[in-house]
Amino acid sequence: MTWNYVLGDDNFNVHSEKAQVIDVDYNKSAKTIQEYHNAGKKVICYFSGGTIEKHRKDIAEFYKVEGLVRNKYEEWADENWLDIRKEGLKPLLKNRMKEAVSKNCDGLEVDNLDGFQQSEVKSWSSPLTRTDTVNFAKWLGNTAHELGISIGLKNALFMIDEVDSYFDFAINESCATLEHPECHLYKPFLNQGKAVFGVSY
């Protein structure tokens, strides 16, 4: 199965795209996603679950939850880390999932689940933990399935053995090009016949 990331590509032409699966932002219109389906594509819809991006239409709702929006994600200047332990985050992300379902996305990519490993998050007085992250990932998987949509695990190799049964596929950035390649860690997915989509930069 072939796939392609087309996030932020305003010149994307689905009719010349050879990939069977395409990954787009969840803010695409239902009409556009239908056009992708008409061209024979499966569509994965992307949003960040561990950060908030300044351009999101629902950003004001995130700031209404006390303590949810935290410090800046230094690698991406328009994003701030989220405290994924806050219960107020769940209905916000569930609403995004519902929107993706309403547009007939075939699957979800939820990004930035590795916050607890990042220096900005480690600087909090009460940092996120690995256990917080695993619990959050399981909630994401369960919620997506309750809504009838598949969901992929983005990176986060550290918890594959604990959450592989909660996710339907995986997406990895650069596991083959790291100093110590880590693609072999996806065996739990492959052994279950689940797709692992890879991209290298």
Q: Would 63 be classed as within a structural domain?
A: no
Q: Is residue 152 exposed (0-12), middle (13-18) or buried (19+ Cβ within 10 Å)?
A: buried
- Three-class DSSP category at 154: strand
- Three-class DSSP category at 46: strand
Q: Containing domain of residue 106, as a range?
A: 3-48+90-199
Q: Would 65 be classed as within a structural domain?
A: no
151: CATH = 3.20.20.70
Q: Would 127 be classed as within a structural domain?
A: yes
Look at residue 112 in the predicted model and tell me its pLDDT.
Answer: 98
Task: Summarize pLDDT for 156-191 with one digit per residue, the tens.
Answer: 999 999 999 999 999 999 888 777 788 999 999 999
Q: Is the pLDDT of residue 117 over 80?
A: yes
Q: Would 62 be classed as within a structural domain?
A: no
- Give the total number of structural domains in the chain: 1
Q: Would 113 be classed as within a structural domain?
A: yes
* Residue that wins the pLDDT comparison between 36 and 9: 36
Q: Check if the beta carbon of residue 51 is closer than 8 Å to that of residue 76.
A: yes
Q: Would 83 be classed as within a structural domain?
A: no
Q: Would 24 be classed as within a structural domain?
A: yes
Round the average pLDDT of the chain to a whole number and report it.
Answer: 96
Task: Summarize pLDDT for 44-87 with one digit per residue, the tens.
Answer: 999 999 999 999 999 999 999 999 999 999 999 999 999 999 99
Q: What is the model's pTM? A: 0.95
Q: Would 66 be classed as within a structural domain?
A: no
Pairing of strands 69-72, 107-111: unpaired
User: How many Å separate Cα 59 from the centre of its chain?
Assistant: 17
Look at residue 10 in the predicted model and tell me its pLDDT.
Answer: 74
- Percent pLDDT > 70 in the chain is 100
Sign of CA dihedral 119, 120, 121, 125: positive
Look at residue 181 in the predicted model and tell me its pLDDT.
Answer: 82
- Three-class DSSP category at 84: coil
Q: Fill in the amino acid letter for 61.
A: E
